[in-house]
Amino acid sequence: MKNTVDMEKLVSLCKRRGIIFQSSEIYGGMNGCWDFGPVGCELKRKVKDLWWKDVVQHHDNVVGMDASIIMHPRIWEASGHVANFKDVMVDCKECKRRYRIDHVEGDCCPECGGEFTEPRDFNLMFKTYVGAVADDASVAYLRPETAQAIFAQFLTVLNSSRQRVPFGIAQIGKSFRNEITPRNFIFRSREFEQMELEFFVEPGTDEDWNNYWVERRIKWYHKIGIKPERLRIRPHEKDELAHYAKSCVDIEYEFPFGWQELEGIANRSDFDLSQHQEFSGKKMNYRDPITGKDFIPWVIETSAGVDRIVLTVLADAYEEQFLAEDDTRVVLHLAPCVAPVQVAIFPLFKKPQLQEVAKKIEENLRKHALTSYDEIGSIGKRYRRQDEIGTPFCVTVDYETLEDNAVTIRFRDSMEQERISLDRIVSFISEQLDF
Ligand SMILES: [Zn+2]
């Protein structure tokens, strides 16, 4: 089924419900930068936690790290970013608009017809100066990817973690790219978060590991509730492969604005470790303690963007449901494991006996799920508020509860209601949140 979600409506829901805001909005906004509100940051945290769980904690041969954002500038020479990570740009001499040369036809500005400057390279890395003096010797960059820190620390992690090849190092963190045309809401932004795994293998076993990770990653998207028919795997053609890659496949999602990359899984050969060996002068080879084999490991990389996945989760879950004439509900059909509120608890009326029981239930559930307590407005309105942020379960305490020790549980997608006894509620909700 084609994704026909209206992006404008999704953006406006995100603003209205505290999911995502434009950065620095009171000053007119900051292009390509976004802030996650109270609901959005829980959703984002869930995405990261479920990735970490699946990639790191569920593998005994993957460990994590958390590197600094500013690193030695030689790292970006070794990686090829200083030389290659750039677009060729032209500026309009009249209106000063900047264009990627491969994005414009003809030789004058499509906006005003003005003349272009000579084409020049525009590096996508954000440059800064470290220390008190702003000279060439103090130049540093905000990292454009998290991967290089992993390669630079490969030996340190290997020697301190008692791992043997094949093993992986994973990292989640911010990266920065001075994109000329940030667009499609949070799809392409200048400051974003990445979840990257660099998996080190013996040459010759690389294709098998590559296939393992492609399959594993696709399954993860299914587990967090993305519709399988809107996901596809697209192998890169030879001429679009990055200079370091032996092969690469993209996991793509069908957004309302077309098929777009969510994640790249690349066979990077021994390019990165060899480069760092050359530039740092430190040996990057691995000697297996049991087989005695000695080699520079090859790397299978999985590289996903957190913000993009959050957008995917939202766009995939959004529905405007026509219920009856004059009655349309906005609902996010989020999988319970990623929902920013997993269970909402209401007293049917604002009466002390009901409030007390409802608060007690919330306190109990809080240890097992993300909860929200709401006593404002009619029960119907409260349901709709929760539907808009994708809360899968609502629990209502009424006068009968005081007699039968049971509550009404209402399911977001079917809108059906069931009576459930209080002593079963924690185990029922916990089961539903299983990942
Ligand atoms: Zn112009």
Q: What is the pLDDT of residues 226-280, one digit of tens each?
A: 999 999 999 998 888 877 788 899 999 999 999 999 999 999 999 999 999 999 9
Mean pLDDT of 58-87: 93
For residue 87, report the distance from its CA to the centre of ligand 1, in Å: 19
Identify the sign of the CA torsion 264, 338, 32, 196.
Answer: negative
For residue 27, report the distance from its CA to the centre of ligand 1, in Å: 25
307 is in an annotated binding site: yes
For residue 227, report the distance from its CA to the centre of ligand 1, in Å: 42
261 is in an annotated binding site: yes
- Least confident range from 40-54, 93-107, 304-318, 341-355: namely 93-107
For residue 91, report the distance from its CA to the centre of ligand 1, in Å: 8
194 is in an annotated binding site: yes
Mean pLDDT of 390-395: 98
pLDDT at 392: 98
For residue 375, report the distance from its CA to the centre of ligand 1, in Å: 55
- Give the mean pLDDT of the chain: 94
Instruction: List, in order of start, the domains of the chain with CATH numbers.
Output: 7-70+143-314 (3.30.930.10), 341-432 (3.40.50.800)
pLDDT at 363: 96
205 is in an annotated binding site: no
234 is in an annotated binding site: no
For residue 264, report the distance from its CA to the centre of ligand 1, in Å: 35
Mean pLDDT of 348-367: 96
For residue 256, report the distance from its CA to the centre of ligand 1, in Å: 30
Mean pLDDT of 94-100: 86
pLDDT above 90 covers a percentage of the chain that reads: 82
177 is in an annotated binding site: yes
pLDDT at 400: 96
Residue-wise pLDDT tens digits, 103-158: 888 888 988 999 998 888 888 899 999 998 888 889 999 999 999 999 999 999 99
Q: pLDDT confidence of 309, banded at 50, 70, 90?
A: very high
Predicted confidence (pLDDT) at residue 168 exceeds the cutoff of 80: yes
Predicted confidence (pLDDT) at residue 98 exceeds the cutoff of 90: no
For residue 94, report the distance from its CA to the centre of ligand 1, in Å: 5
- Least confident range from 18-22, 110-114, 369-373: namely 110-114
Mean pLDDT of 351-366: 96
For residue 257, report the distance from its CA to the centre of ligand 1, in Å: 27
